Structure 1
Amino acid sequence: MQLQINIASHPLIQHWSGILKNDNNPGTILRTACSELGKWITYEIMREWLVTETIELKANTTISLISSHYKYIIVIIMPYGFILAEGARSLLPTANIVLVNYNDIINNVPDQLNSFTKILVLDLFLDEATITPLLNDFIKKGAVLSNIKIACLECGTSQLNQLGQIWSKLEIYTTKVNTNVDKEKCSREDDFKDKFFV
């Protein structure tokens, strides 16, 4: 496995991760925690991912703005990725949104992608069976792997190993690598459904 795994360690990420681990918190608090984690993980990604350009306003006065040459796409893995997206969209308000329900694309990915397209994929738990066909579609349409980032709350070691065999240069941001998450994935998703959708 040669994936680039980034464990987000910002103090606010640690705080909201702690809130999320407390099963005694009501669903509204846990949902807020997920939204905040989506925002702060996206912030960590954006620090070195966003491209800025210098614009001259008048003589001896310049400003730096996000480059208008790049297109940003947020891919939301349904049904739970949208909770992370609530926070992420506040940092990338002009990004195009693509909804994916496992292997079925709900809102179509643009047909023409290129080296100026940056893609952020959001899901609660990393799922290789969903990510691999999605990446294949992006690359086929012209996207560059180095411009694709995956953000999730937790990922399992076996899922990472499977992805690493195919996408060795893929970059993943998460709050935790869990050796048990693969076995617990279904029950954990059921827990989220029970807490968030009551």
Structure 2
Amino acid sequence: MQLNIYLISHPIIKLLSQTIINNQANEAIMTNSYKQIGLFLTYETTRKWIKIHNIYLKKFNKIQQMTLLDPNRKYYIFTKLSNTYKMLVDIQLFLPNMTIIDTVYENNIVLKNKKINHLFDKTSKEIKIIIFDNILQESYAIQLIKYLNQYINTKDIYITCISCYEKTLHIIGQSYPELQIYTTKII
């Protein structure tokens, strides 16, 4: 099986990613570009697997429809918030049951975290994970995937980044060919 790479080619996403990669704008525009690309990348990554339920409530003479996220599924974004905060700041407003986990990475090791271990104690829920980064870094991604793979199948782990190196994709693909990667640019 081969690594699944989704090169996102929507014109709006391309424009935003070029602005960010080339650092072409003032601080206010850059901050706004980060927020927007964070939402677009999250949308592209989750649109095939977010599960919703339509609920119809009958009130006296009318029916009200509500749309809710599946309560049996949990969604997590693992990221280094120091790098991606600007992109992820509004995600929980749109997806309230999407939990953002700040991963600590020092000396090429993802540090074990009791909060992370606690997430996987409740095996009754379906779990989907996004590893989110600006530029995908080989050692960070591999260490984090290896750590998460102890608790969850790699088919439920997705990688989302603005750009990534071809070499990094090749190395990840050798170890974890079933992963799905969403990016705007391969360097």
Please give the range of the TM-score, normalised by the shorter of the 2 chains: 0.7 to 0.9
Query: Shift in Å at residue 137 of structure 1?
Result: 1.9
Pick the structure with more helix per residue. 1
Q: Which residue in the other structure is 1:100 paired with?
A: 103
Q: Which runs of 5+ in 1 are unaligned?
A: 179-198
Instruction: Give the CA deviation at 1:106.
Output: 5.8
Displacement of 1:73 in angstroms is: 1.1
Q: List per-residue Cα deviations over 1:73-126 (Å, max 9, x = no partner).
A: 121224202222124334323322211132225673124264601111111111
Q: Which of 53, 74, 77 is the equivalent residue of 1:74?
A: 77
Q: TM-score, normalised by structure 2?
A: 0.81
| Aligned position for 1:132 | 142
Aligned partners of 2:114 and 2:87: how far apart in 1? 18
Q: Which residue of 2 aligns with 1:10?
A: 10
Question: What percentage of aligned pairs have identical amino acids?
Answer: 27
1:39-95: per-residue Cα shift (whole Å, max 9, x none)?
101111221120123434349x66543211101112122420222212433432332
Query: Is 2:35 the counterpart of 1:25?
Result: no
**Judging changes above 3 Å, is the alpha-carbon distance between structure 1 residues 91 and 9 closer, same or farther for their aligned structure 2 residues?**
farther
1:138 to 1:21, Cα distance in 2 relative to 1, 3 A: closer
Provide the alpha-carbon RMSD of the alignment: 2.5
* Aligned residue in 1 for 2:167: 158
Counterpart-to-counterpart distance in 2, 1:28 and 1:177: 26
Q: Match of 1:79, SS? A: helix
Code of the aligned partner of 1:118? K
Which TM-score applies when normalising by structure 1?
0.77
Number of positions where the alignment pairs a residue of Structure 1 with one of Structure 2: 177
Matched with 1:189 is none
SS in structure 2 opposite 1:49? coil
| Residues 107 and 126 of structure 1: CA distance in aligned 2, closer, same or farther (over 3 Å) | farther
Q: What is the distance in 1 between the residues matched to 2:134 and 2:164?
A: 9
